Amino acid sequence: MKNNRRDFLKTVGTVGATGLAAAVTVEPAEAQSPAPPTAKAAPVTQVAHAYTFFTAPEAAFIEAAVDRFIPADELTPGGTDCGVAIFIDRQLAGAWGSGDRMYMQGPWQKGVATQGYQSPLTPAEFFRAGIAAANTHCRNTLQKDFDRLTADQQITVLKDMEQGRVTFDAVSAQEFFNLLLATAMQGFFGDPIYGGNRDKAAWKMIGFPGVVAIYSEHIKTYRNKKYDVEPKSILDLS
């Protein structure tokens, strides 16, 4: 079993802060001078995996949740390894997370479900409050944070939230669950430019060929016939 994020932080704990900072220090003069014409840059293969919005405990919650939503199996790696947690982090750190394109003026009333989102919180604040409330619920009932539960326990907690069998104080457990699931699915199935759907795993799983989409002839020739191609993303074509 892989180490989870919290174990990693514990391991690097004592040397963590200074050690990591030193490792990424770049000499300003060197960084600004152009590379000599003959020099070849090493190919960039690193994928972003550090969080900008989530704290370490929040990231641990999200990683556990998306791994339950999208468990690793013969079809795809788990949600975290597909970049879904990073996707959610980036979305919450960006314009959508801060309530862009939302009417945020009061007064505030709960309303009925058919009236839609009525929380005064931005999506980022809503996630933060939802994670805290879910962890409080897990500590009260199971004496551990969500990410420390067994996979079966996590599934039970998520189902309870989904079905509205538990209530949280700060936010609606069911509303939080629905937003968490919807955002995770956006990351899993969206273009890899946003950090999720790494290696187009979700597109390969279902047979979606991606963004090269010229089917003028195929609409006839592929009636009742599988269209097997390596999917192409915006990232591949940019």
Partner 1 sequence: MPTRLKEVDVVIVGLGWTGGILAKELSEAGMRVVALERGGLRSTNPDFAIPQIRDELKYAVRNALMQNPARDTLTFRHSPAEPALPMRQLGSFLPGEGLGGAGVHWNGVTWRWTGIDHAARSHYEQRYGKGFIPADMPLQDWPMSYAELEPYYDRFEHTAGVSGKAGNLRGTTQQGGNVFEQPRDRDYPLPPLEPSYSQVLFNEAAAQAGYHPFPRPCANASRAYTNPDGARLGACVYCGHCERFGCEANAKGSPHITVIPKAMAQPTFELRPHSWVTKVMLDSTNKKAIGVAYTDVSNGQEYEQPAAIVALCAYAINNVHLMLLSGIGNPYDSATQKGVVGKNYCYQPGGGGVTLFFEDEIFNPFMATGAFGIAMDDFHANDRFDRAAMGAVGGATIIVGQSNGRPIGYRPVPAGTPRWGAEWKQATAKWYLRAMNIGVTASNMPHRYNAYDLDPTYKNVFGQPLLRLTYNFVENDKKVVAYVGSKAAEIARSMKPTSMTGPGTLGDYNIVPYQSTHNTGGAIMGTSPANSAVNKYLQSWDVPNVFVVGASAFPHNSAYNPTGPVGALAYWTADAIKMKFRNRPGLMT
Residue 214 sits in the site that holds partner 1 (CB under 8 A): yes
Residue 207 sits in the site that holds partner 1 (CB under 8 A): yes
Q: Which is nearer to partner 1, 40 or 101 (CB)?
A: 101
Residue 206 CB, shortest distance to partner 1, in Å, is 4
145 within 8 A of 121, measured Cβ to Cβ: no
Rounded to a whole number of angstroms, the minimum distance from the CB of residue 31 to partner 1 is: 30
Q: With CB under 8 A as the contact rule, which of the stretches 24-32, 46-54, 100-108, 135-143 interacts with partner 1?
A: 100-108
Number of residues that bind partner 1 (CB under 8 A): 64
Nearest residue (CB) to partner 1, 13 versus 106: 106
Taking the least distance from each CB to partner 1, the nearer of 9 and 94 is 94
Asked whether the beta carbons of 134 and 173 are under 8 A apart, the reply is: yes
> Should residue 115 be labelled a site residue for partner 1 when binding is judged by CB under 8 A?
yes
Q: Of 130, 124, 127, 126, which Cα lies nearest the Cα of 98? A: 124
Minimum Å gap between C-beta 39 and partner 1 is: 31
Q: Does 20 bind partner 1 (CB under 8 A)?
A: no
Binding mask 68-87 toward partner 1 (x if CB under 8 A, else -) reads xxxx-x-xx-----------
Residue among 16 and 111 whose Cβ is closer to partner 1: 111
Among 104, 141, 164, 167, binds partner 1 (CB under 8 A): 104
Residue among 8 and 189 whose Cβ is closer to partner 1:
189
Structure tokens belonging to residue 70: 């999208």
Interface with partner 1, residue 203, by CB under 8 A: yes
Residue 132 tokens read as 């805290």
Asked if residue 96 binds partner 1 (CB under 8 A), the reply is yes
Q: How far is the C-alpha of 61 from the C-alpha of 103, rounded, in Å?
A: 29
- 3-state SS string for the chain: CCCCHHHHHHHHHHHHHHHHHHHHCCCHHHHHCCCCCCCCCCCCCCCCCCCCCCCHHHHHHHHHHHHHHCCCCCCCCCCCCCCHHHHHHHHHHCCCCCCCCCCCCCCCCCCCHHHCCCCCCCHHHHHHHHHHHHHHHHHHHHCCCHHHCCHHHHHHHHHHHHHCCCCCCCCCHHHHHHHHHHHHHHHHHCCHHHCCCHHHHHHHHHCCCECCCCCCCHHHHCCCCCCCCCCECHHHHC
- Is 152 a residue that touches partner 1 (CB under 8 A)? no
- What residue ranges bind partner 1 (CB under 8 A)? 68-71, 73, 75-76, 96, 99-105, 107, 109, 111-118, 155, 158, 162, 181, 184-186, 189-191, 193-194, 202-203, 205-216, 218-220, 222-227, 233-234, 237-238
